[in-house]
Structure 1
């Protein structure tokens, strides 16, 4: 069969599943519930930051999925490291905040060149 006739698999049009994340990320958390929770948190952050679904500026699924993957790794790495700032609370009752990384923001809202008139 000629190569032109071979159908390529369709690109995914959904957020990452725990199974997909584990296949792409060898150091993912071993606990399934923990991985699912991290993926959900990353998805929610990406959805909140990305342009609306009907916005023509919204990136395609490859960028959305890569942003989710990058952010979930950042969340996991931040949870493993002792943060130096951004903590609320005292003693063992602290909450650490971890904003979207600039790489993730760039994937969700790519910078566009703006012509300067003057």
Structure 2
């Protein structure tokens, strides 16, 4: 999987910057993931997608809109959580009671 397929802004960044964001995201995702992987384990695709999504979120948080926030609308900034619920769901899926098997 290449990060640039799922992270549009990565296409305009050099490889070293993309690699840095992916490394940071990998550490956070592996710390949250329920199953520790060894070096020989195949990395599940949902871990890889979570890593790219988190790298994109960190990038957006660092490079967000620097315009002042309009106090009436709240627009003008990007708010990012350390691991948003999309990323957490990919790493530790929540099974609904009576959900689809």
Interval containing the TM-score (normalised by the shorter chain): 0.5 to 0.7
2:22 to 32, 39, 50: 39
Q: Find the counterpart in structure 2 of residue 21 from structure 1.
A: 3
Higher normalized strand content (fraction of residues): 1
Distance 1:112 1:73 in 2: 26
- State the Cα RMSD in Å: 2.8
User: Which stretches in structure 2 are left out of the alignment for 5+ residues?
Assistant: 38-42, 67-79
1:71 to 54, 60, 78: 54
1:48 to 24, 27, 31: 31
User: Which stretches in structure 1 are left out of the alignment for 5+ residues?
Assistant: 1-15, 55-59, 84-96
Q: TM (normalized to structure 1)?
A: 0.56
Larger Rg: 1
Higher normalized helix content (fraction of residues): 2
Distance 1:49 1:35 in 2: 21
Q: Find the counterpart in structure 1 of residue 74 from structure 2.
A: none
Q: Find the counterpart in structure 1 of residue 45 from structure 2.
A: 62
How far 1:82 moved relative to its partner? Answer: 5.3
Q: Is the 8 A contact 2:30 2:36 kept in 1?
A: no
Q: TM (normalized to structure 2)?
A: 0.64
1:107 to 74, 90, 95: 90
